[in-house]
Structure 1
Amino acid sequence: MAQVNLALGAMYFGTRLDERTSFELLDRFVAEGGTIIDTANCYSFWADPSGFGGQSEEVIGRWLARRPGLRDKLYISTKVGAEPGGDGEWPANREGLSGPAIKAALEGSMRRLGTDRVDLYWTHMEDRSAQLEDTAGALAELVEAGLVGRLGASNHPIWRVERARRIAESNGWEGYTALQLRHSYVKPRPDAPVPDQNHRFGWVGEEVLDYVASDPRMALWAYTTLLNGAYVREDRPLIEAYDHPGTTRRLAVLAEVAAELGITRNQVVLAWLTGGNPSVTPIVGVSDAGQLDEAVAGVALTLPSEQRRRLDETA
């Protein structure tokens, strides 16, 4: 079966989703051609009574341990930087991106995942208390040691990503070659407050798209692609920040295209993301088999040129 350009978001494995359900979804994902699993060392500290993360990685690790030989067929992505580190309130108490914090976090992630390497390692939130040279050097050492395959930045401003890449390049180090940000077909008003959005620079905009498209080494992953069900569920309306004429127009053309093609609006959005320039790898969190099947089918679609044009030109 062909691989699909979809990352299974494992954020709530082990917290809101119990282990049995998580295992079933992981098994079904692999059976349908999925290979990419996205998690983080901090998932999901806010949903666990302990106040700390690691539950998602632990569930994935137990799942892998019961399926010998499967690890080599998968692409595992995890993150460092946002896990609570002790006393005080988050995000002030997060572990950050100092060299020692990065190395200690990777050791913990590999232990929980039961693996000797991470295929893509993300710095989850920027940390301006850490020197970029220290962060870039620590990450490069992990790559050099064979513990990490590729490096990515999530929720960082592009100027900081580029500065870190230049530091890495000047030292002959491996640098960032992936970005992970929030992205979907409809967008909130510029500067509109978005509740529960803790990442000031966690959005895809025209500058990000141009940056990625101009560099063949750079990949773009997107989270919150389906807006928590708002495209297809009346009981999950878009928040007020999305209330503007552009949203109305885009939702209308989205519904038209979905009806014309006989697919769901979620599937149109996923096909729009994967078929764009640059192509985007969507991260989709699911809670049941139906949602997973819908997502896998969506990323496998290629939108006809006329429908693609209408979606792109509607603003």
Structure 2
Amino acid sequence: MAQVNLALGAMRFGSDVDERTAFHLLDRFVDAGGTVIDTANCYAFWSDPDEAGGHSERVIGAWLAGRPGLRDRVVLSTKVGAQPVGAGDWPANREGLSASAIRTAVEGSLHRLRTDRVDLLWTHMEDRSVPQEETGYELAQLVKAGTVGRLGASNHALWRVERARGIAQANGWPGYTALQLRHSYLQPRPGATVPDQSHRFGWVTDEVLDYVSSDGELALWAYTPLLNGSYTRDDRPLPEAYDHPGTARRLTALTEVAGELGVTRNQVVLAWLTGGAPAVTPIVGVSNVAQLEEALHGAALVLPEELRARLDAAA
């Protein structure tokens, strides 16, 4: 069975998506050849005033516990650094990326996930109050111990990523080999505010694409690739930030390509992401099997070069 270039986004598991439904989705994903499950220790703290997150990790852990032998078939991706701690408003009260915070966060994730290792650990948000050397050293110790496989940076300024990688290289430590940022076919106006995007540096830019394309060690993961349903659902209109001529041209091209191929706009977007240069791993959150099946077929779709060129030209 071919591996699927798609990460199952588990952010809503244990909160908006109940455990039984989540188990069903996870089973179907793995049965279809999916391997990568993406979550974070803070998901979904905003859904429960009495909890600081951990809902999603607990559901994934319970799912794995009920399926002996499955752990080696999946890639667990989780994040640390953004979980709320103590009093105050988020994100000012987040745990951050000090050595002690990272150790505590990883211990908690391993406990909730019921595993002895995380395959890909992301620093979820920057923490400029902590020297990058301190963060890098602690991450390196986790990799050395076998507790963590790879390291990734999510929602970090690109210059900070490059600096962190330079520090790691100079010290002989493992460094970041993946970036996780928001990316889709449609793009908002530069500098415009998008209501559901709180991360200042959480966007894929031309510079990011050039950086990843120029470095064979780096992988690029994209969250919110389907814009929360805005490509296909009338009840999910695009935010005002997407109201510009480029959006109209791209939607026209997207609709034409989807019609010619007999697929949905969502599936064309996923095919455009996964088959581009650089190739992108989309993280897709789903709440029912129909959404999952659509995403799986979209990630497996190969766009003819002429159609990809038409999509790219509609800027």
Same fold (TM over 0.5): yes
Residue equivalent to 2:252: 252
Paired letter, 1:221: W
Partners in 1 of 2:227 and 2:87 — Cα distance?
32
SS of 1:311's equivalent in the other structure is helix
Partners in 2 of 1:89 and 1:230 — Cα distance?
30
Residue equivalent to 1:213: 213
Residue equivalent to 2:163: 163
Residue equivalent to 2:58: 58
**Runs (4+) off by over 4 Å:** none
SS of 1:181's equivalent in the other structure is strand
Partners in 1 of 2:287 and 2:196 — Cα distance?
20
Paired letter, 2:136: A
The count of corresponding residues between Structure 1 and Structure 2 is 315
Residue equivalent to 2:141: 141
Partners in 2 of 1:204 and 1:50 — Cα distance?
34
Where do 5+ consecutive residues of structure 1 fail to align? Answer: none
Residue equivalent to 1:131: 131
Shift of 1:64: 0.3
* Alignment TM-score, normalising by the size of structure 2: 0.99
Paired letter, 2:144: E
Partners in 2 of 1:17 and 1:155 — Cα distance?
25
* Alignment TM-score, normalising by the size of structure 1: 0.99
Structure 2 counterparts to residues 1-315 of structure 1, below 5 A: 1-315=1-315
Where do 5+ consecutive residues of structure 2 fail to align? Answer: none
String of CA shifts for 1:166-197, please: whole Å, max 9, x gaps: 00000000000000000000000000111132
Give me the CA root mean square deviation. Answer: 0.6
SS of 2:59's equivalent in the other structure is helix
Q: Identity percentage over the alignment?
A: 72
Partners in 1 of 2:211 and 2:182 — Cα distance?
16
SS of 1:119's equivalent in the other structure is strand
Paired letter, 2:234: E
String of CA shifts for 1:247-283, please: whole Å, max 9, x gaps: 0000000000000000000000000000000000000
Paired letter, 1:101: A
Shift of 1:314: 1.0
Shift of 1:49: 3.1
String of CA shifts for 1:33-68, please: whole Å, max 9, x gaps: 110000000000001231410010000000000000
Shift of 1:198: 1.3
String of CA shifts for 1:220-267, please: whole Å, max 9, x gaps: 000000000000011111010000000000000000000000000000
Partners in 2 of 1:112 and 1:234 — Cα distance?
37
